[in-house]
Amino acid sequence: MSTLVIVESPTKARTIRNFLPSTYRVEASMGHVRDLPSSAEEIPEAVKGEKWAQLGVNVEADFEPLYVIPKDKKKIVKELKDALKDATELILATDEDREGESISWHLLQILKPKVPIKRMVFHEITREAIRDALTHCRDIDNRVVQAQETRRILDRLVGYTLSPLLWKKIAWGLSAGRVQSVAVRLLVRRERERRAFRQGSYWDLKALLEKGKISFDAKLVTVGKVKVANGSDFDENTGQIISGRRVLLLNEEQARALLSRIQNKPWTVTNLEERPVTRKPSPPFTTSTLQQEANRKLRLGARETMRIAQSLYERGFITYMRTDSVHLSEQAIAAARSCVQELYGSEYLSPQPRKYTTKSKGAQEAHEAIRPAGSTFRTPQQTGLDGIDFRLYDLIWKRTVASQMADSRQTHVTVQTQVEDAGFRSSGKRIDFPGFLRAYVEGSDDPDAALEDQEVILPALKVGDKPNCQDLEAVGHETQPPARYTEASLVKMLESEGVGRPSTYASIIGTIVDRGYAKLIANALIPTFTAFAVTTLLETHFPDLVDTGFTSRMEQTLDEIATGEASWLPYLQKFYKGETGLATQVKEQESQIDAKVARTVILENLPAKVCIGKFGAYLESESEEGLVKASIPQDLTPADLDPEQVEFLLKQKTEGPEKLGLHPETGEPIYVLIGSYGPYVQLGDVSETNKKPKRASLPKGTDKDSVTLDMAVSLLTLPRLLGSHPDTGAKVQANLGMYGPYVVHDQGKVGKDYRSIKPPDDVLTITLDRALELLSQPKAARGRSKTATPLKELGAHPESGEPINVYDGRYGPYVKHGDINASLSKDESVENFTLQRALELLATKEAAGGSKSSSKSKKSTKTTAEKSETATKKTAAKKTTAKKTTTAAKTTTAKKTATATKTKKETKSS
């Protein structure tokens, strides 16, 4: 008798395999095995002629979805069917959330098993949890499946109905989404607020006082018993004091006059107030709070956070990472309290176990918060983790343990001092008992340092004391526009508005960045001009679809479908086909939308229109010579486009570029211009005989107004030939690229070796010796390899001395030595894998051409290694690579042809 267990991923399969008897066979479905068609070629011939086929949902037949097995999943499905032939029982052990329930249901529909079926769920992958789950199997929850399928159909209806409209009215390739478009609108609204913001300025005084050899700060708050204005008193739309506020607005002259008047006058303490404050620990992490805190503390994006968390879950380190719940099981509470007792002492333990409850009605994913797995919590140091895996586990561990610790007791102290008619205030904070702050402090990775930072110690003072004034200065301030959303603050906003679900936040943010609606710069999400155009069109013609309240109510209905409180079919019919349904609205509105208006972004106080074109945003203005168009640099955001920049860009088109001077050797003019990719310098004029003058981009952060003739001449020498590499004789150059300055060891067909140039090194002055020194250093890891942790370290290679390790690839474990990757076969376990066996696999792979000698072949070999579980998958991987290469070549050729005449593309030559 054998039992087939199906999970989603190979990592999860390997971990679970360790906890099950040998009669259990665990296989991975590699995620979804069936979905709505993603392209026309996936639509079956039998229905290709149907009107609804492209939509993938038969809206005339009770919204029946058209499910297909994607090409890349057909082999996996065949392997699962073959495995099922030898099984006497099937256990579907996909994740316990809605998506996992849906995957199990799809597997059931495809495999059509004739053996007994069980649905096994668990929220952590430990021996106890898996054994317990085996004894508490259930049936598939069809209501949860229906809710997930309704969500999938709803998203398809919105995306595939609205996106074609955007193609016609704004630009080809744009997309709309049920939640995506709401998130984009939030970014656009914030950017509009920043653009409408009017800066205000105010002055005050700051004093450094001293009593008993302890110094403390004091800030001016009143003059003649009238409150002195601060930033909160200003209207963001006018830059003036809010109407009706009775405050004193000091300018620089008045502030300095007051300073002179009270200088050297006696100070007196007029009031002192102490207020006890108790702080409770935050509840354990949910998906959204983990994403927020990982973004704030670790600077991780939502997608990266979820990728690492998924890996930690599948390897048995944490519980399931997609959850709305803050609840902790009795086992988890006991484990956390045990950690507190052992590491901090009983005085740091909360008197009673803390039990957290989830307030939101929509909480429906896992039944427990994200916490360390098991009945006892391994400390971060006991896990063997390193790098970002360690840091994220450390964050989860600290938050969970802190949730069972005692309150923090603090005393907040406010001291009022008076000098003449000027009133000053000092604020202090004394931590009487740190409580949970010993383990976890929001916003800092070092609890001890954060504890010190939180305390602001004031000297022992009483009313009537006369502290000495050590320093007094006038300080000017300017109000700041509303901060842009970070990933953390956007997730927080989406959650508070009830838009989307925790399991979708990472994909929402990833989608709006990938599709060009926002740029992630310095941890801020900045909407593009395209985002403005799309949001304006949707707000004007489909306001409900980008309204947070409407979208939140949709989420509630989907939750009600999952609990059986609502029916899915009437809801879809009303949403799509009703009198005010989506299909009806699109049909009515399409003729009313003027494409020219839709492509125009309205920004106040600009002497030109902003339009969306085939190649991005551009300016359009009428002049005496006719219509003038000028490209807008891609890094220029809507909030930052001002009249001066518009004037410069248009002037550059009508009057020609700004001339810096003449090249000292050729005598040709050198110009400073701004193109789609930012400012650059150009040698000579564009003419019939000189269609592509020499150009060079300015280094990142260099303002065009600061460029001198000497700097421009130096930039135009790039790439600089520094000399020959002593080992190969190949040339070594310094240059500027898309990601900044770099040196390169160019060996022609053999390949190119790059290293970034970091300050204080300069691309214009770096020497050959320094370049060779940089090239001799190991390359900084990029992408996934940056955080890759070996599953097993086997030792050093007997010839090269380099380490040989086993890593977790997307499709299973593989062994790596230098540039060679070789997959382990299905029947080989990581635990029993030896160095000798690794050497055999690596030798076979190298003999078959597995060596990577160029940057191009690196990508292709890595793809093969990570996608191969057995040697027989090589052919499929090669076909995929070839197909991708052909497609990429076609796309590149088409793009180059379409843009060959565009000056803006030529700025990339640098």
What positions carry a catalytic annotation? 320
C-alpha–C-alpha distance, residues 498 and 90, integer Å: 37
Question: Which residues pair with residue 278 across a beta bridge?
Answer: 409
Q: Are 327 and 421 a contacting pair, CB within 8 Å?
A: no
The b-or-e profile of 10-35 (16+ CB within 10 A means b, else e) is bbbbbbbbebbeeebbbbbbbebbbb
C-alpha dihedral, 580 to 98 to 378 to 384, nearest 10°: -90
CB 141 within 8 A of CB 32: no
- Could you give the angle at which helices 529-541 and 180-196 cross, rounded to 10 degrees? 110
Q: Among residues 430, 474, 433, 487, which one has the least CA distance to residue 454?
A: 430
Question: Does a cis peptide bond (omega within 30 degrees of 0) precede residue 760?
Answer: yes
| In contact, 115 and 88? CB cutoff 8 Å | yes
CA–CA gap between residue 896 and residue 620 (Å, rounded)? 24
For the range 380-387, what are the long-range contacts, defined as Cβ-Cβ under 8 Å and sequence gap of 24 or more? Answer: 383/317, 385/317, 385/789, 386/789, 387/786, 387/787, 387/789
CA 767/CA 743 separation, integer angstroms: 10
Terminal alpha carbon distance of the chain: 67
What are the backbone angles phi and psi of residue 323, rounded to the nearest 5°?
Answer: -155, 145
Whole-angstrom distance, CA of residue 677 vs CA of residue 681: 12
Hey, which bits of 13-128 come out as E strands? Answer: 24-28, 57-58, 64-65, 89-92, 117-119
Q: How far apart are CA 910 and CA 680, in angstroms?
A: 9
Among 99, 836, 813, CA closest to 502: 99
Query: Which residues, other chains included, contact 46 with Cβ-Cβ below 8 Å and sequence gap of 6+?
Result: none
DSSP state, 31?
S
Cα dist from 543 to 327, 381, 512, 538, 550, whole Å: 37, 52, 19, 6, 9
Residue 809 CB-half CA count within 13 A: 23
Peptide bond into 719 cis (omega under 30): yes
User: For residue 588, how many C-alpha atoms fall within 13 Å in the half-sphere facing its CB?
Assistant: 10
User: Are the C-beta atoms of 599 and 614 separated by less than 8 Å?
Assistant: no
List the one residue out of 297, 279, 293 whose CA is nearest residue 403: 279
- Cα–Cα dist 248/240, whole Å: 12
**Could you give the CA distance from residue 105 to residue 119 in angstroms, rounded to a whole number?**
10
Phi first, then psi: give them for residue 838, nearest 5 degrees.
-65, -45
Would you state the structure tokens that stand for residue 766, as one six-digit string?
A: 């770096």
Nearest to residue 619, comparing CAs of 649, 656, 595? 649
**Tokens representing residue 353 in the block:** 């176990």
Residue 661: name the closest of 712, 704, 718, 717 by CA. 712
How far is residue 549's CA from residue 370's CA, in Å, rounded to a whole number? 28
CB atoms within 10 A of CB 313: 24
CA 321 to chain centre: 17
